[in-house]
Structure 1
Amino acid sequence: MTAVSQLRRLEIGVSDQFSLVPSTNLRAAAKDAFAVEFGRFLDQADGVAQPEKLFDLVCAFALKFDCPWIAYSYLTGNQRFLKPVKCDPVAMLNYPDEWQERYFEMGYDKIDPIIKTSRKRAGTFRWSEVYNDASTTEDERRVFDEAATFGLRSGISIPLHRPDGSFAVVSFAQVYDQDFRNIAVTYLELVALYFHLRIAEFVLSSCAKGPFGLSPREKECISWVARGKTSWEIGKILDISDNTVNFHIKNVMRKLDVASRTVAAIKAVNNGIIEL
């Protein structure tokens, strides 16, 4: 059974479930509208062959629930913090660049309460639940507090566990300080599961081609490094800040397991990741 057929069966089940719950005409109309949008998403996504394009479709669907920010990350069973691993799409996200830079600069990847909770939970959880949980430390709450200053004021995270102990986390964030409606959570869960199933297909294909999984932007940055350009020069060429360039180059260094940008560029060339 394909990922599309699996999700369509889930969609029917969700629609049947909601049909048993008394609701106002407005809620019924909203439910029908979201069901139509979900079906349209499946039709559009079925023929997509690139992870980035599929991610764009997920982002467009999430906007219908007022969620402009999305993150997908994958961790192995023995990882204690968010660190990319070989043969994985690693992190695909559209969080503000400034927040991403701050996140790694402060070492929040090592204490992220979303990762900690996802390791233990099997179901979707609201960030507010984790923030108000007695076991959450002040340092962990600071991650949420700082995220809010960058526009990620409320959110949900969906852990997707595998039998080998590895798991993915899909997070959706709003700019509003309010909890998600149940119908929104349900449809975002379906989209997250579909996205994860499709990404697994891409991973198998990318592993056959090479283990490093650099994003298009990361390849652009390291390609210019290999041509002798500074971060400032690369930023001007790509029309991004030099801080953002440094962020992508650090990701490349981490994925290629090297200690310098020069060595990263050499390794990228030698492994056929980029061409000069």
Structure 2
Amino acid sequence: MANQDMAAAERVEGLITDVKGFKTQFDVFRFMKRVTELYGARAFMVLNMPGATAQELGSSSIITNWPSDLLTEFDQISLLSGSPVLAHLRRSSIPLRFDIDDVALQRDSKSGEVSKALFTRFRMNRGSYFPVHDATGARGAVSFIGDREPFNALEMMELAYIATHVFNRLAEIREMDSRNSDMLTERELDCLNWTAAGKTSVEIAEILTLSEHTINHYLNRATKKLDAVNRTQAVAKALRLGLIK
């Protein structure tokens, strides 16, 4: 048993070391997929705590690999409203193990049956949520869901430790992105906006009455400031940060 505990501790410490080195949200996404598979779950979600009037889970999600159809249906039939899981997360900082059968019983009969059928269809009928917060006190949660047996006490402790580090690192990455975005010039933002609209460098040059070389210079500089690997990622990051629309 001691050897198993030591191996588990070393494995988790290795995972945490990985987290500390991540530079982008996509790094964290890939890591969370790996952790999800490692612990025998099917899907994960990292989310900000939905506000009191929130109607959609999707708008609070930071990163997730939930099946898109599941998340869409969840929001379309307003299952966030009256969610027993969300109620627990709002009033407690204690990790939650749940089974969809038990959750359904805590809802009204109609939404209970609908939620049970929905999650069972995607084989995501049990899992755990881990309440977390960042350095500013902003609250959130990390979940792992699937159809395996409930996580045991050791797995819950390991996943809670991982969840805390993941949420904190995502907050740090957002802060780094925000600092970089503050340095974007008006011209760089213009170029990103037009790129997001599907315009080529040649077309943007005509619109802004600048040379194609100058447009490429602005886009390359914006890409570097946003710590993106290419223009597509730079546009995606700028959209996520609300810098362009």
TM-score in terms of structure 2 length: 0.64
Which of 119, 134, 147 matches 1:175?
147
Residue 39, structure 1, aligned to residue 10, structure 2: no
Instruction: Report matched runs for 1:63-142 at 5 Å.
Output: 63-75=37-49, 78-82=52-56, 90-128=61-99, 131=102, 135-138=106-109, 139-140=111-112, 142=114
Which residue type is aligned with residue 174 of structure 1?
A: G
Shift of 1:172: 0.5
Which residue type is aligned with residue 73 of structure 1?
A: L
Shift of 1:60: 1.0
Which residue type is aligned with residue 59 of structure 1?
A: K
Shift of 1:102: 1.5
Asked if the contact 2:19–2:169 (Cα under 8 Å) also holds between the matched residues in 1, the reply is no
Aligned equivalent of 1:154: 126
Moved over 6 A (4+): 162-165, 222-225
Over 3 Å counting, the alpha-carbon distance change for 1:147 and 1:83 in structure 2 is: closer
Asked if the contact 1:159–1:169 (Cα under 8 Å) also holds between the matched residues in 2, the reply is yes
Residue 52, structure 1, aligned to residue 26, structure 2: yes
Which of 158, 161, 168 matches 1:197?
168
Asked if the contact 1:124–1:159 (Cα under 8 Å) also holds between the matched residues in 2, the reply is yes
Shift of 1:103: 1.5
Q: Residues of 1 paired with 2:50 and 2:181: CA distance?
A: 18
| Unaligned 5+ runs, structure 2 | 183-192, 200-237
Specify the SS of the correspondent of 2:21: coil
Shift of 1:43: 2.3
Asked if the contact 1:37–1:61 (Cα under 8 Å) also holds between the matched residues in 2, the reply is no
Which residue type is aligned with residue 132 of structure 2?
A: L
Q: Residues of 1 paired with 2:142 and 2:112: CA distance?
A: 19
Over 3 Å counting, the alpha-carbon distance change for 1:101 and 1:57 in structure 2 is: same
Over 3 Å counting, the alpha-carbon distance change for 1:81 and 1:32 in structure 2 is: farther
TM-score in terms of structure 1 length: 0.58
Q: Residues of 1 paired with 2:147 and 2:3: CA distance?
A: 25
Asked if the contact 2:100–2:125 (Cα under 8 Å) also holds between the matched residues in 1, the reply is no
Which residue type is aligned with residue 18 of structure 2?
A: Q
Specify the SS of the correspondent of 1:38: helix
Give the superposed CA RMSD: 3.6
Q: Identify the range of structure 1 (97-106 vs 72-81) with the bigger mean alpha-carbon deviation.
A: 72-81
> Identity across aligned pairs (percent)?
14
Asked if the contact 1:77–1:167 (Cα under 8 Å) also holds between the matched residues in 2, the reply is no
Aligned length, in residue pairs: 194
Q: Residues of 1 paired with 2:40 and 2:63: CA distance?
A: 19
